[in-house]
Amino acid sequence: MSSKITPATLRAMKTRGDKIAALTAYDFPMAKLLDECGVPLLLVGDSLGMVVLGHPDTTHVTLADMEHHVRAAARAKPVALLGGDLPFESYLTVECAVANARKLVAAGAEFVKAEGGREILPQVQAIVAAGIPFCGHLGMLPQHVLEEGGYKIKGKTEAEHARLLADAQALADAGAFAIVLELVTPPVARELSQRLAIPTIGIGSGPDCDGQILVTPDLLGTFPWFTPKFVQPHLNAAAQMRTAVQEWRTTLAKTPTS
């Protein structure tokens, strides 16, 4: 068996220049399968709101939803480092942030992730002080999609550039072991990756981050009704599933009744 992946493992991968592969897992079979593929970082993301629960965005995901899916994924006992998102409005205060982070850890998460920079710094510091590994998330913040009026690329203006640099360094100084950069312009993502001692995990932020994360249904083509522009699916599993079901139905229709 491979050695258990830890935040220190990911830091060492950045130092060596090894790209960090990360994918989402929302249940036992997918967590087990991805772990068998050697994916070192698995996230029970609040993206499950759309690709599992059928919500229009992540703001409908509850802490109970996250606990349920973290428990399911954790039953795979992965070698990978397994984490969970703190969902919408679950970390508005320091007290709530720590209490809810502990709930995800109790469900099986080995780290928690939350969106935001300096505005959530007290929460980040308290989570880290409680002994819970923390992963940051900067750039486009899905939990803010309603107030921002959509999913927008960040880092285009000098003000956004400066804010991203300051927020990323603040999260690193607070003890975050990695930062997801979502829809950050590639030049800014590259600069952040070069400046920070901790790994950057990109999604739609160009090729120069220390790693990349994708929503697994996007990669495998199991959610064919929407695919982000920056994703190139490596499999059209939905089409194969439809074919398999149709073939089974055809076979069933030809089977004589007794």
- Strands (E) located in 29-171: 41-44, 81-85, 111-113, 134-139
pLDDT tens for residues 60-78? Answer: 999 999 999 999 999 999 9
Residue 23's pLDDT band, with cuts at 50, 70 and 90, is very high
**What is the arithmetic mean of pLDDT over 199-206?**
97
Q: Is the pLDDT of residue 209 over 60?
A: yes
- The whole-angstrom separation of Cα 157 and Cα 198 is 24
Q: Rounded mean pLDDT of the chain?
A: 95
Residue 257's pLDDT band, with cuts at 50, 70 and 90, is confident
pLDDT in the model for residue 195: 97
Sequential DSSP letters for 199-241: -EEEESS-TTSSEEEE-HHHHHT--TT---TT---S--HHHHH
pLDDT tens for residues 154-195? Answer: 999 999 999 999 999 999 999 999 999 999 999 999 999 999
What are the domain boundaries of the chain? 7-254
The CATH fold assigned to 7-254 is TIM Barrel (3.20.20)
Active site residues: 182
Residue 19 near residue 212, CB atoms below 8 Å: yes
- The whole-angstrom separation of Cα 43 and Cα 36 is 15
pLDDT tens for residues 122-137? Answer: 999 999 999 999 999 9
Q: Is the pLDDT of residue 230 over 90?
A: no
Amino acid at 246: Q
Q: What percent of the chain has pLDDT over 70?
A: 99
Q: Is the pLDDT of residue 1 over 70?
A: no
Label residue 49 left, alpha or beta by phi (over 0 means left) and psi (-120 to 50 means alpha): alpha
Looking at the DSSP bridge assignments, the partners of residue 202 are 181, 212
The helix (H) or strand (E) run that includes residue 200 is strand 200-203
Q: Which of the 8 DSSP states describes residue 38?
A: T
pLDDT in the model for residue 120: 98
pLDDT in the model for residue 258: 66
**What is the arithmetic mean of pLDDT over 17-41?**
98
